Structure 1
Amino acid sequence: MIRPFWGGLILERWEPALRIHHLNCGTDCPLGGALFDGRSRGLLGRIICHCLLIETDAHGLVLVDTGYGLRDVAHPHRGPEPRITRPWRLLLNIRLRECDTAIRQIEALGFRASDVRHIVATHLDFDHAGGLEDFPNAVVHVMAREYDDATGPHVGVVARNRWRTSQLNDVRNWRHYGASGEPWFGFDAVRNLDGLPPEILLVPLPGHTWGHAGVAIRGADGRWLLHAGDAYFHRGEMRQARRHCTPGLRAYQRLMEVDATSRMANQGRLRSLSIEQRAEVSVTCAHDPVELERCRAGSPL
């Protein structure tokens, strides 16, 4: 059954071996209000970083993305390789708070950092990977192309700002995956992630980055939750035939994409999935606060 948990978090109904907490591990408040989030009444919008914490019986805790981490909060600009560049911090008006970090929320739930044994990354942008180093014992699962792009030479303004090697340098336990696997609702899927149960899989969704992927989790009733990462940003881009997105988020998606054709094609496939397979699959993204609220409340997406 659905029941309330600490801080208003909701524990969704899954089999006992897979229990999901919906966390917000970072908040951006860009100038523009409703032009970004579609509902704010003031000058500032609210964009969140929706991460998942999965409890398993045999595999410990599993995180899907980490949001901003402790070092981001303490020293976002320190050193020759700042963890978050000043232009992007100003552009997004990032609110860095220690209580929002994944590690502090996990501790508030009664766990320790060492209980997190696996992290599955949709991609390694600074707002998704900042907390990786807070869990030094965890194995980090990511698409091989994403790892190569994030740790290799960064060409162009966006690449130099999105991937921060200072957030990745102390991560030692990587697992890399190619973009092939058994089909999943018409998508290529990477199954059998090393050390993880078969109910958790990576779904390649290139476009935002070439190595971008969604993470699908199957519940006891057979339904799937797909965390689509940054494959889309606004709730109006899913679950309806005609796409709707706010001007601010539409522009930001275009700014950050590596390939418009791939991004829009995959977004269209996700939209069809969210409509045609609604009884089987719930789809959520990383940055929409309304979707996060619905997930926490156990409301249909």
Structure 2
Amino acid sequence: MRIHHLNCGTDCPLGGALFDGRSLGPLGRIVCHCLLIETDAHGLVLVDTGYGLRDVAHPHHYPHPRITPAWRAMLNIRLDERETARRQIEALGYRADDVRHIIATHLDFDHAGGLEDFPHATVHVMQREYDDATGPRADFVARHRWRPAQIDEVQRWRGYGARGEPWFGFDAVRDLDGLPPEILLLPLPGHTWGHAGVAVRVGDGRWLLHAGDAYFYRGEMRSAQRRCTPGLRAYQRLMEVDRVARLANQQRLRTLSIERRDAVTITCTHDPVELERCQAGDPL
């Protein structure tokens, strides 16, 4: 399987290095790292979609019909059609219909905005995430993170329970419907109750783990001492549903990133340095 690392959305929050750890100016740069997986017999598989065509169709509209003003202002979202998953896939010479499966780490607005751009794809997600995203959204964060307009036209859902066979000490949902056995879902609750990572076997006994929003900053992995910028630390706390579960899963991932670095490469959604290194084929 060949994996393409795509940036399907850019946020530029005020604070610069207080968010991304490297910007010299007043604005930071946060990405939406998605995976495009080419399989031999199962078509194209997307892991998350970032912002979609319908999101970027209203770049100057206030209020935005699909992204709430509070989140748009907080993140200073840059809506660019060239960054949508569909346009990047077309630039690679494929059609939207070639995407047969989408695996969602979760259904936050910056991960699920492009689902409707691939109407023939089956969307695989943890059942708890689907239930929470489509059910009553009582509190402030829930109303802003899950946007019905982004998902209400999706026809092909496939939900999964949280238990499965072990994978490096984590529960793994295997045998995803219609997908090869080299792709697994790993329940990682805390950011949302139905949040999950996606593990992909890349050959020679190695795995790539897209950990979604289980962590946000490169310094939270691959070192015994956790480091995170103030901006991203605060944003993670704002968005969490359970701090104990989130930090416990993050610690388990950090241990995995150190002790099994020979077998597993871990990346998250929003760190631009991790994305750049993955795109360049550099080790994390």
TM range (shorter): over 0.9
CA–CA separation in structure 2 for the residues paired with 1:229 and 1:256: 13
Q: Distance in 2 between the 1:129 and 1:77 partners?
A: 20
Partner of 1:171: 154
Deviations 1:115-156 (CA, angstroms, capped at 9, x unpaired): 000000000000000000000000000000000000001011
1:47-98 Cα offsets, whole Å, 9 max, x none, are: 0000000000100000000000000001368799921001100000000000
**Which segments of structure 1 move beyond 6 Å, counting only runs of 4 or more?**
76-81
Tell me how far 1:215 sits from its aligned partner: 0.1
SS of aligned partner of 1:105:
helix
From 267, 271, 275, the counterpart of 1:288: 271
* Structure 2 CA distance for aligned equivalents of residues 190 and 77 of structure 1: 41
Q: Residue 161 of structure 1: which of 141, 144, 149 is its match?
A: 144
Aligned pairs for 1:65-84 (under 5 A) are 65-75=48-58, 82-84=65-67
Residue in structure 1 matched with residue 196 of structure 2 by the alignment = 213
Provide TM-score, normalisation by structure 1.
Answer: 0.93
CA distance in 1, matches of 2:137, 2:240: 15
Instruction: State the identity as a percent.
Output: 80
Q: In the alignment, does 2:38 pair up with 1:59?
A: no
Q: Select which of 58, 69, 72 maps to 1:89.
A: 72
CA contact (8 A) 2:123 2:157 kept: yes
Contact 2:46 2:99 in 1 (8 A): yes
Do the aligned residues in 2 keep the contact of 1:77 with 1:86 (CA within 8 Å)? no
- What TM-score, normalized by structure 2, do the two folds share? 0.98
Q: Residue 203 of structure 2 aligns to a residue in which SS? A: coil
Secondary structure of 2:88 counterpart: helix
Q: Are 1:231 and 1:266, in contact at CA under 8 Å, matched by a contact in 2?
A: yes
1:220 Cα deviation from its structure 2 partner: 1.9
Question: Mind listing any 5+ residue stretches in structure 1 that lack a counterpart?
Answer: 1-17
Q: 1:127 aligns with which of 110, 113, 121?
A: 110
Inter-CA distance 235–169: structure 2 relative to 1 (3 Å threshold): same
User: Out of 214, 233, 239, which is 1:256 matched to?
Assistant: 239
Aligned pair count? 284
Aligned to 1:111: 94
Asked if the contact 2:200/2:209 (under 8 Å) is kept, the reply is yes
Counterpart amino acid of residue 142 in structure 1 = V
Give the residue type in structure 2 aligned to 1:154. Answer: R
Are the structure 2 counterparts of residues 157 and 225 from structure 1 closer, same or farther at C-alpha, using a change threshold of 3 Å? same
Among residues 12, 24, 35, which one is paired with 2:7 in the alignment?
Answer: 24
Structure 2 unmatched runs, 5+: none
Is contact 1:40–1:46 with CA below 8 Å preserved after alignment?
yes
Q: Of 157, 164, 184, which residue of structure 1 is paired with 2:167?
A: 184
2:189–2:245 CA contact under 8 A, matched in 1: yes
Distance 1:179 1:77, change over 3 A: farther
